[in-house]
Amino acid sequence: MNNMNPKVDFYFSKASKWQEEIRQLRTIALDCGLTEELKWGCPCYTLNKTNIVLIHVFKEYCAYLFFKGALLHDPKSILIQQTENVQSARQTRFTNTKEIAKLKKTLTAYIYEAIEVEKAGLKVKLKKTADFIIPEEFQNKLNKQPTLKTAFNALTPGRQRAYIFYFSQPKQSKTRELRVEKCMQDILDGKGLND
């Protein structure tokens, strides 16, 4: 594994849980000839500066995240769509080293397929912001305040979707209204939900 990036080493030594598992995942990705980088605070494996797979840890599991996993064939049914709003990425989740060892050939095949998807220039057809249902509470504000509507339309599609998802999550209308009120100034200022 001479492709290890020293800037990423700390991630593997700081992990209090899943240390052996993520080391195995690192080896598999590097053995596929990918470049190891640190992105979003996680080990990310790239081909010609495009993201192929990322390692991340959670309380209940560690995982590979295939950036264009929606385009991969999944004969072993190991790819998971994290939430209904995730359009492109897919995860494979692990809770022990035996699972990873058992799936090593499969994971390698999936990585090589992800590399071919990238080389072929394939793209996931993403929904447009207009395809998502805007919660009634937010739509009412947009209808009443043209400046808010203009500011929202000026945001990037990703920022628009983040607000729509955030406003849509609560079950109660009052909570949705409070979220909209709380975020209105940020939208007017051209900021995203997490800026």
Assign residue 76 the CATH number of its domain.
3.90.1150.200
Both 113 and 136 in a single domain?
A: no
% of the chain exceeding 90 in pLDDT: 78
Q: Is residue 194 part of a domain?
A: no
pLDDT tens column, 157-193:
889 989 998 999 899 999 999 999 999 999 999 999 9
Q: Is the pLDDT of residue 32 over 70?
A: yes
56 is a domain residue? yes
**pLDDT of res. 112:** 98
Q: Is 142 among the domain residues? A: yes
Specify the DSSP element, H or E, that contains 11. Answer: helix 9-14
Structural domain boundaries enclosing 156: 129-188
- Whole-angstrom Cα distance, residue 135 to residue 157? 16
Overall pTM surpassing 0.85 (yes/no): no
Residues 6+ apart with CB under 8 A from 30: 1, 3, 4, 36, 45
Q: Say which residue, 132 or 170, is predicted with more confidence.
A: 170
Which pLDDT value is given to residue 2? 57
**Average pLDDT estimate for 95-99:** 96
- 117: alpha, beta or left? (left if phi > 0; alpha if psi -120 to 50): alpha
Q: Could you say which of 100, 119, 138 is where a domain stops?
A: 119
pLDDT bin (cut points 50, 70, 90) of residue 195 is confident
Whether the per-residue pLDDT at 147 is higher than 80: the answer is: yes
Q: Are residues 87 and 149 in the same domain?
A: no
Q: β-strand 50-57 against 62-66: which pairing, if any?
A: antiparallel
Q: What is the mean pLDDT of residues 73-78?
A: 96
Q: How many domains does the chain have?
A: 2
- Say if residue 47's pLDDT is above 80: yes
